[in-house]
Amino acid sequence: MSTAKPVSDPPSLEQQRLLVSRILSSALFRKSRKLATFLQFICEQQQMGKADSINEQRIGTEVFGRNEGYHMGEDSIVRSQARFLRIRLQEYFATEGKDEPIVLTIPKGSYVPEFHLRELPAETVQTVATLVSHIGYTASTPSDKESSEPPPKRSFFWIYVAAGIGAVVCLALGIGWWLRGEEHRHAGVPVEVRFWASIFDSQRTIILVPADSSLVLMDELIGNEITLSDYMNRKYRSTVPPPEMTRIWNQLLTSQYTNVVDLRLVSALERLPEVDHSKTQVRFARDVSVSELKQNNVILIGSTRANPWVDLFSSAGRFRVGYDSKTHTNLVENRNPGQGEKARYDEAADSADHLAYGVISYLPSLDGESSSLLIGGTSKAGTETASEFLLSPRFITFLHTLDKGGALPHFEILLSAQNLNGNSYQRTIVCYHIL
């Protein structure tokens, strides 16, 4: 396996600049303007001899537009983006840049880029040495037949030997680089990069749909849940509310209300390095059509009560976040429960436990060509539970338990959390299913 290490004689500045230029023009970085700007800034500073001035505060102001003296403890934009940048660089050198003779890294705990010359694999070096040794031996020990003939002039003899050695070395180097390229073609891209790249598929449009929070209020006014069918054909708009509720009903019909937890999640997802903003749309649930959801990748946020489009995926998973109108209880249905699992998980907002539930469902897209994501909860706290877990290191750890080196399997996770005044804490995985 080829490696990279700092050397006493590093690549020249021109080599470094050309490498950075190739990285920035790659498909991986063209679709992530902020990461490209981040990388360009720190490399330019380092190449101008200003490595000492590359720090979190300066990157925050110069690259991410933060005010001078902003509080880095409360705003971790540089640290989080540096993590994504390291992942993106690793992905570049495993794919488009697999044949680069120079590797660019950003060591953890620092923002100063380092340029390394790649070493040839040890087996290639040994092959070269063996071949050169063999050529040297046969060239200096002619056969008995050859010994009876006049020896060639020494100058031409050594030219032939040098040419032979050079040809073998070039051949061995070529084989070495080819083997290294084959190795990198099969090198594993980080599991979280593969996960997000499967949703934010560069070949498809991605539609993010936060919850239509008005629907919950409308349900309460008319005493019935608005079904997916009624939502799709807009039949619910002709419902006649109680006379004293007409003004409120009409206001809900013409307003676009959603949840602050949903908006925070949308904002966080849009900052992921895998996102191509030219192919990503944020749409209000009422403005989306079923044909759009069938032709594209989607991220749906909310329960079926607040985002009926979730029911389009009901046959793909076993969890369904719903509502029992008879008991006025938010719940998670667990169709076909496994051993030790319940068939239903009721939110316990009024009990001493104050339990809320969240669900993350990674499912095939409706046309079966890619993947989509559903994030919902039995309440605001439940959705927050699922959202925060999805963007936490614990989720990456979970992905590693599923990773076999290829495409990730589709899955769904049920989480529970304590609910304190609408905020979640003490998140726990209750169970999960591989689909």
Q: What is the mean pLDDT of residues 341-362?
A: 87
Of 426, 422, 433, which is closest to residue 398 (Cα–Cα)? Answer: 433
Residue 210 predicted with pLDDT over 50: yes
pLDDT at 245: 87
Domain definitions of the chain by residue range: 4-118, 122-185, 193-213+258-434
* pLDDT band at residue 184 using 50, 70 and 90 as cut-offs: very low
Report which residue type is found at 33: R
pLDDT at 173: 52
Of 47, 26, 46, which is closest to residue 36 (Cα–Cα)? Answer: 26
pLDDT at 423: 65
Cβ–Cβ < 8 Å for 384, 424: yes
pLDDT at 57: 92
Cβ–Cβ < 8 Å for 366, 313: yes
Output 148 or 364, whichever has higher pLDDT. Answer: 364
* pLDDT band at residue 68 using 50, 70 and 90 as cut-offs: confident
pLDDT at 264: 93
> Alpha-carbon distance 331 to 340, whole Å?
18
pLDDT at 372: 95
Look-up of token digits 């944020």: 282
**Strand ranges in 365-405 using DSSP code E only, listed in sequence order:** 371-377
How far out from the chain centre does Cα 11 lie? 31
Q: What is the mean pLDDT of residues 405-431?
A: 83
What are the pLDDT digits (tens) for 291-347? 999 989 999 999 999 999 999 999 999 999 999 988 889 999 999 999 999 999 999
pLDDT at 384: 92
pLDDT at 434: 94
Of 109, 111, 140, which is closest to residue 41 (Cα–Cα)? Answer: 111
* pLDDT band at residue 202 using 50, 70 and 90 as cut-offs: confident
Output 393 or 133, whichever has higher pLDDT. Answer: 393
Q: DSSP letter string over 114-170?
A: EEEEEPPPHHHHHHHHHHHHHHHHHHHS--HHHHTSPPPPHHHHHHHHHHHHHHHHH
pTM: 0.61
Q: What is the mean pLDDT of residues 130-155?
A: 45
Output 149 or 326, whichever has higher pLDDT. Answer: 326
Length of the chain: 435
Q: DSSP letter string over 23-66?
A: HHTSHHHHT-HHHHHHHHHHHHHHHTT-GGG--HHHHHHHTS-P
Q: What is the mean pLDDT of residues 142-147?
A: 42
Contacts 24+ apart (CB under 8 A), 227-230: 227/308, 228/304, 228/308, 228/309, 228/311, 228/312
Which of 158-172, 216-230, 412-426 has the lowest average pLDDT? 158-172
Question: b/e for 43-75, b at 16 or more Cβ within 10 A?
Answer: bebbbeeeeeebeeebbbebbeebeeeeeeeee
Q: What is the mean pLDDT of residues 365-392?
A: 93
Q: What are phi and psi of 161, to 5 degrees?
A: -60, -45
Q: What is the mean pLDDT of residues 40-48?
A: 92
